[in-house]
Chains A and B, each alone.
Chain A
Amino acid sequence: MSNHSATGVVHGDNYLNHTPGIWSWLTTLDHKRIGVMYLFTVLSFFFVGGVFALLIRMSLFYSGHHFIDANTYNKFFTYHGAIMVFLVIIPAIPAALGNFLVPIMVGAKDVAFPRLNLFSYYIYCAGAIFATAALFMRGADTGWTFYTPYSIQTSTTVILVLTGAFIAGFSSILTGLNFIVTVHKLRAPGMSWSRLPLFIWAIYATSIIQVLATPVLAITLMLLILERVVGIGIFDPALGGDPILFQHFFWFYSHPAVYIMILPAMGIISEVIPVFSRKPIFGYKAIAYSSFGIALIAFIVWGHHMFVSGQSELANFVFSLITMFVAIPTGVKTFSWVWTMARGSIHFNAPMLYAFGFIELFTIGGLTGVFLATLAIDVHLTQTYFVVAHFHYVMVGGTLMGLLAGLHFWFPKMWGKMYDEKASVIASTLIILGFNVTFFPQFILGLQGMPRRYWDYLPEFQTLNQVSTVGSWLIGAGFLYTAWYLGKALMSGEKAPSNPWQSTTLEWQTSSPPPFENFLETPIVSHWAYEYLPEGGVPQNAPANPATA
């Protein structure tokens, strides 16, 4: 650390002002800056995907009268799904927060391959450009699932979207690879596996899925492109292909992808709850292993998306049985989080409010998942609004709550500024309440039989659709307000201390915002990540004390 002796560091030097100018950002190899660039790009696409969501809900306000026509509606729900899945929730936590935090939390200066990391960001941008180019041409109207043979026959520019998702996939693979190597090779002295924060365990499990499953998506999308361009006859029944084969290939990636979306959010919740309960996480090993349990099961349950597709009854039997076991590690995590709060000292800061939101929404999402795993019940509910409500409770209720908890938790660290806590209470209330108002009625619509991806619907479904649409405005208002008060905090927020939440993990033991290369001295780790003693938390890099070791 010769170049960072106490006298050598300019006062106030941090990663944000270490080198000036836009070019220094665009060519940066600093994982924190790359994380920040991902964050802003992902949030921009979140805004676009969100606008499409609001337009969809608007159009569904009345039965029989719609302000957009059927073809436009079909494109809008395709854009909403494809943007939110491929460009927002898959990269949101791993690529944005993961990039910023993984090296700091393991006590490293950067990721293992900084150049590859920057390259991953530009691959993601290239994928996003291809996908969004389709919006300005003939669009795409296949739904984000690209089911054949409709995706072969449609006259829309679906190839551009497929190419975009294909390219963005490589970004995901390379980011996963980078994190795996970083966690294996760059942990600070003393940072044993059992001392790692659970966010790192979750990102590590996610990375394994990203590396193993994404290539299958790439192959599938490539085959579909070839099918459209030259008619190779793999999926097209007119050429002797099998359209159901596409569904197997697609879900072989896209089911594990669901866990790429949710595991990192679970990692964030595992960080937030102990900090704001001032108490060690309950069942550290059980939570860490359950991430791997989920990652493993993720690969062998894809067929539960296909119970009515025409696959065999035996396949349905096996996939239903295995899917039930997803609920067990998920339950272990949920019970452990709640029990962590018992006999703690609960602080109601914004990240904790979002953790409460996560538990409420994710519990509903998880329990309704059991309905869908149950063979007979799924037959009635699949392809209806019940499924739409279920995966929004999991993906939005889970991933988005996790992301919001994380953004508020690490905001002081990332920017060195504090935000208005009162504003965050109002915004989180609007978002969580609005979410329930939007999606709970959709469970009932699904039970009544209203199918998904319907531009128009029967008059008897109108009231619940209107409630749902009003809910979407509450969510929209909540997010606009959040953008406003966080933006204001960025500009003129109060200066944040290095450890405002009295957390024990390494990222809070360096200044806010962190310096270039994260630590002035390589931290020596002597404690696990959750040493919250009744008299206060013990930082991971505090000197070892024989009394507490």
Chain B
Amino acid sequence: MFFHEAYAGVLPIAATDAAVSWNALYDFLIWISIFFFVLVVGAMIYFAVKYRNRPGHKAVYETGSHLLEAIWIGVPTVLLLIIFGWGYHVYREMKQAPSDAYEIKVVGKQWLWTFLYDNGTTTVGELYVPVNKPVKLLMTSQDVLHGFFIPNFRVKQDVVPGMYSSVWFEATVPGKHQVFCTEYCGTSHSGMLAQVIALEDKDWNDWLRGKKIAIDKIPNANRDPNEVSAADTTTVSQAAATSAPVSLVDQGKVIYNKMACATCHSTDGATKAGPTFKGLFGSKVTLTDGTVVTADENYIRESIELPNAKIVKGYAPQMPTFKGLINENDMTAVISFIKAQK
């Protein structure tokens, strides 16, 4: 359809079956809306021109018509009930997780997402899932409300402290899918992003067994809808198979981005929610109680594991602890990276 072509680029790709159902309902709503918009605004313009005030033209006296009123009450009522029923039907499809869905736990906190897998693996900012298998996320928040939103899957759910909420999906397109936080959560709300990394069966099993994946090389599923085809699957697999040795600082840079340090700590001197890393190492840091400490390796390590132990003057005590989320190798790498930010 011509029209469908015209707005195909407007919507994100439909990377689940539920998203395909969503698109069909959306199409229906768009057509209905265009019909009524043209009807109302078209009639308004037509009447304004045809019955414009001019010499010799007089208005008629008319106060109403029960027939017309019955039509413009009856027709919309029927259409609205159809829309409601269809909307609820697709909603059920989006909400009812199959009983065999693979479950992953999600914890949101200001301002990062952590994902906990049954085998004990924990990731930050990257949610690894298999394609063509139902996945259920069991989510909670450590502090305030967050919203977990994957546009390509058309799923969204608030993440609430003190309770669990869930979403489920079955990704049909491998690659990266953007995740946004949609419930306003403070300073770095717009930086609270993540990626779904949808992997083919074999790569998924390799990843579960601890194989490293070159995350930079995995294509964005949304980047070009025409290219997301069988050809791309191999790209994801190839990327998954890539692993070249990298320097300690570069490894640290990966951790810096992956653990969402970048959300609050810049490397160019810009002030974000936390102090910049530029020129941090070896500098004298003034704390809220007025004491001055030197930013050495142990200071940085403590700030990562026990962020509230020493608060830099001018900043709020709001960083979550990374204890247990970051292993010794990664800790060493990220400290090397911070050291390199001169």
Contacts and interface: CB of A to CB of B under 8 A. Distances in A.
Contact of A379 (B48, B68, B154): B154
B299 interface: no
B110 to A, nearest CB: 9
Given A341-B48, A346-B51, A149 B25 contact: no
Contacts of A382: 156, 182
Contact of A377 (B29, B184, B316): B29
A375 to B, nearest CB: 4
Interface residues of A, number: 93
Q: How large is the interface on B (under 10, 10 to 19, 20 to 34, 35 or more residues)?
A: 35 or more
B321 interface: no
B91 A379 contact: yes
Contacts of A150: 144-145, 184-186
Contacts of B65: 282-283
Given A70-B272, A286-B69, A448-B12, A375 B91 contact: yes
Contacts of B72: 331-332, 335
Given A338-B47, A380-B151, A348 B52 contact: yes
A533 B196 CA distance: 67
Nearest to B90: A376
A147 interface: yes
Interface in B68-99: 68-69, 72-73, 76-77, 80-81, 83-84, 86-95
A449 B180 contact: yes
A477 interface: no
A280 B63 CA distance: 6
Given A74-B187, A283-B69, A338-B40, A243 B161 contact: yes
B189 interface: yes
A454 B189 contact: yes
B330 interface: no
B283 interface: no
B180 A451 contact: yes
Contacts of A449: 12, 149, 151, 178, 180
A379 B83 contact: no
B53 to A, nearest CB: 5
Contacts of B58: 345, 534-535
B306 interface: no
A345 B53 contact: yes
A342 B25 CA distance: 34
A383 B182 contact: yes
Contact of A147 (B80, B145, B272): B145
B41 A454 contact: no
B41 A363 contact: yes
B91 A346 contact: no
A360 B316 CA distance: 47
Contacts, number: 261
B1 interface: no
Contact of B25 (A71, A377, A447, A454): A377
A284 B89 CA distance: 38
Nearest to A287: B64
B33 A345 contact: no
Given A70-B187, A70-B272, A150-B145, A359 B83 contact: no
Nearest to B72: A335
B108 to A, nearest CB: 12
B131 to A, nearest CB: 20
Given A149-B161, A377-B25, A367 B178 contact: no
Interface string A284-310: 111000000000000000000000111
Nearest to B140: A237
A25 interface: no
B10 interface: yes
B158 interface: yes
Contacts of A447: 10-11
A408 interface: no
B33 to A, nearest CB: 4
A280 B62 contact: yes
A279 interface: yes
A69 B157 CA distance: 28
Given A331-B76, A347-B53, A367-B36, A444 B10 contact: yes
Interface stretch (A321-329, A419-427, A487-495): A321-329
Given A243-B162, A283-B64, A356-B48, 19 more contacts: A150-B186, A242-B162, A280-B61, A286-B64, A328-B77, A331-B72, A332-B73, A359-B40, A363-B40, A363-B41, A371-B26, A374-B87, A379-B91, A380-B155, A452-B182, A453-B189, A454-B189, A456-B191, A532-B61
Interface of A: 69-71, 74, 141-143, 147-150, 153-155, 237-238, 242-244, 277-286, 308-310, 313, 316-317, 320-321, 324-325, 327-328, 331-332, 334-336, 338-339, 341-348, 356, 359-360, 363-364, 367-368, 370-371, 373-380, 382-384, 444, 447-449, 451-458, 530, 532-535
Interface of B: 10-12, 21-22, 25-26, 29, 32-33, 36-37, 40-41, 43-44, 47-48, 51-53, 57-65, 68-69, 72-73, 76-77, 80-81, 83-84, 86-95, 143-145, 147, 149, 151, 154-158, 160-163, 165, 178, 180-191, 271-273, 316
26 contacts: A69-B271, A70-B272, A142-B184, A150-B185, A237-B161, A238-B162, A279-B60, A280-B63, A281-B63, A285-B64, A308-B156, A320-B84, A335-B68, A341-B47, A342-B47, A344-B60, A345-B51, A346-B48, A370-B83, A374-B86, A376-B90, A376-B94, A377-B25, A383-B182, A447-B10, A453-B189
